[in-house]
Every structure is written in structure tokens, then in C-alpha cells.
Amino acid sequence: MARRASLDTELFERLAWLIRLRWWAVAGSAGLLALGWFVYGDQLAVGRLAVVILVIALYNVQFVLYGRTLTAEAVLADGGRDRGARTVRAERFACAQIGLDLVALAALIHFSGGAENPMSFFFVFHVIIASILLPRRISFLMATLAALLFGALVAAEYGGLLVHYHLPVLGDVELVNQGDYLLLLAGVVTLTLWLAAYMTSSISIALRARDRELLARHQAIQDKSRELEMVNLRLRRIDAERTRFLTLVTHELRAPINTIHTCVELALSDYASPEKQREILQRVQSRTAELSELIGDLLRLARTREEAGRDEGISLVAAAEVLQGVVPLMRAEAEKKDLFLSVDVDPGLAPVRAHPDRLKLIWTNLLSNAIKYTEPGGIVAVALKQTPDHLVCTVRDTGIGIPPEDRDRVFEEFYRAENARALSPVGTGVGLAIVRRLVENWEGEIAVESELGLGTKFTITLPRADV
């Protein structure tokens, strides 16, 4: 896209250059006409030549206005839309300019000597311009048009269909009456025009190919540079995440280790009674269990990071079967807290692409959290439904809820809301982070809805494998 834009810009610039060049041609022709009138007076068709020059100036004004319109369209265009149409219009615009210039040049030559005027070879100049601006086939068409115009002019003057305006500098010699000379001149001009079109277009084609190659390399370098920038950005994010992870892990590990260390020192001292030592050992056991749970969560979190973007272990899984395998254990925990666990699973659910053990971990984390943060007598409900494109799982409870300021952070690693810490001091705050990573690894989504004191609802959406 960028390569095409650059080539379009180059074409517009050349069209503007051609328009500016025409102003120089008008000024030069007017100057030569003034000099000829001063030298030869009424022997030149000054009036007719002046009219032709004026016509050239007038249509060049129209070219200026239309050229500005084309340039404005190119600048305001968004993306690649209509770029092909603009290019076609620009090429037609170039054809119109060169075609009118050829007709005007034929008129100038006619009113200033016809075949006697050496300006006939100025046709070559326009053919060269056509070969630079336009495709080869069009440059040959322009060369042919120039040859036909010149041939028709010479033939019409020779046959008396057009009035011949003699060039005063030749004296009494009138070449318009020498048929063999005129035929030879027309042949030489035609051959020169075609050779000019062939040679110039060949060079232009090679230069355009080289331009396209350079632009392609430039675009490839830009793409690679953007790719490297993205890689560098990802590396920075990974490094920042790693630093944050190590900081959080260090903080979470320090508290239980310090507690264990202090308890061991007290147990080894001579000041602790046997009853006190037993109490200390129970604290050590509790903190060791917390530490073991934290390490397990850290290992699971690290594993989910490693599995991101990989298909290892992923297969077609019946989510309902995995859920039914988790429910008995969760129901036992719910009954211990006097909670009612409701399970609603639609029949004939489509499979999903997931890792069976990781999917089991998701159900376990969500249900254990719901049970942990719901007061006795409450309800925990899990439902598994499907839509035309997705499998939808909801875990809802009537627990303590999540404060509004904490809802956007519950999926962060090691984060726990204050009311959750108050109700259950034991916990790592890693479970929901693991759930989110796993769901996103499988191209799914997880959302949370909650009202403080009324309960929480987690919704997981996974793509169906049969769609």
C-alpha cells in the first residue's frame, strides 16, 4: 500500500512538472513570436500563431485546476480506497495533456512553415515525456498520433487542402512542393518518434522496476522495524512482569518463612513450656501448609504462563464431564459449611478445545472461592449452557461480594479484597489469575458481576469446538 502511494505521488509530481514546463513553452513561444514579428513583420502569420499560443495558455489553466483536484484527492484519500481509479484518472490526464500539446504543436508548425519548419522534431520531445509518464503501449500510441498529425499536415499542405505558410528564412525555396522530400521527411520523423518511444520506455520500465524494488525493500525494512519494536515492547512487558512477579513472590514468601523462623526460635528456647511449644508447633504447621499452598499456586501460575500460545495437551473436552467430576468434592465442602450447591447442566453440550486437568482446576478454583466466601446457609450455583458459538459457564454465590473498587483487580496475581482477607486470612490471591490465564489461552473470556454483601457471579465463555 505504501509502495503504491509513493508511485502515485511520483506520477502527480510529474504531471505538475509537465504543467509548469508548458508555461515555459508558452513564454518561450511568445518570445520567439515577438522576435519573428520584429524581424519578418507581416511575412509571418503572427495573429494565427498568437491565437494558438493563447489557446495553449488557456487549456493549461484548466490543467492547473484539475491537477490541484487530483492532488487534493490523493492527500485526503483514506487507505487504499479508490487509489486505482485515481491512478487511471491521472494517466488519462497525462494523455489529454500530451495529446492536446501534439495538436497545438502541429498547429504551430503549420502556421510557421509546415514541413519547412525544423520544429517538427519537437514531436520527439512529447513522445519522450509520454514514455516517461505512461506505460509503453500508450507511449507508442502517442508516437503514432504525432506521426499521423505530422503526416496529415504535410499531405494536406502538399495537396492544397491546407494553406501553406512559407518560412521567410528559406527565401524563395518552398519544400512543400517536393513530394519525395516530404515523403522521406515524414518517414524519418515517424521512425524517429517510434525509436524515441521504444528507447525511452525501455529505460523508464527499468527505472520503474528499480523504484519498485527499492520501495519494496524500504517497506520490508519498515515492517521489520515495526516488528522489532513490537518484540522489544513485549520483552519490556515481560521483564516488567517478571520483576513484579519476583517482588510479589518475595513478599508473599517472606511472611510465612519469618513466622516459621520465629516459632522455631521460640520452640528451641528455654522459656517455652511444653504446652507453649505445642502451640508454637501448631502455628508452624499452619504456616507451613500456607507456604505449601502458595508454592503450589506459584507452580500452577508459572505453568499457565509457559503454556500460553501452545497447544500441548489441548484436546476436545466434554466440559460437563469434567464439571461432574469436580462437583462431589465441592458438594462435600459446601455441606460442611451448611451451603446448598446447585448444578444445572444442559444436555448434549458441544465439546471445547481445552486441557482436561486445567479445566478441572478452573471449576475447582471458582467453586472453592464461592464456598469460601459464602456464609453458612447461603447458596452456590453452577450452570453450564451453550449458545450457537460458545459454551457458557456461570458460578454464582450469595456470599460477601466484591467491593466496586476491587472488581477490576480481582484477576491480578496475589490480590485479595479487604473483605476477603477479613473473612478468610488464609489465601494466596493467585487462583483467579490462573483461571483468567487459562481461559484466555483457550481464546475464551471471563467476566465478573458482584454486589457487596449480596454475592458474586463469574461467567466463562469458551468457543465451541464444533463451530
Of the candidates 367, 297, 296, the residue with the CA atom closest to the CA atom of residue 329: 367
Top pLDDT among 418 and 196 is at 196
Q: In this model, does residue 389 exceed pLDDT 80?
A: yes
**Beta pairing, strands 379-386 & 340-345:** parallel
Q: In this model, does residue 276 exceed pLDDT 70?
A: yes
Domain boundaries, the chain: 2-228, 313-463
| CATH code for the part of the protein at 313-463 | 3.30.565.10
Q: In this model, does residue 404 exceed pLDDT 70?
A: yes
Q: In this model, does residue 3 exceed pLDDT 50?
A: no
Work out the mean pLDDT of the chain and round it to a whole number.
Answer: 82
Q: In this model, does residue 445 exceed pLDDT 90?
A: yes
| 8 Å CB contact between 310 and 355 | no
Helix (H, G, I), strand (E, B) or coil at 181: helix
Q: Is the dihedral of CA 334, 336, 340, 344 positive or negative?
A: positive
**Beta pairing, strands 445-451 & 379-386:** unpaired
pLDDT digits (tens, 9 = 90+) for 63-79: 998 888 877 776 665 44
Strand partners, 464: 352
Percent of the chain at pLDDT > 70 equals: 84
Cα separation, 235 vs 223, whole angstroms: 18
Asked whether the whole model's pTM tops 0.75, one would answer no
Q: What is the pLDDT of residue 206?
A: 86
Q: In this model, does residue 463 exceed pLDDT 80?
A: yes
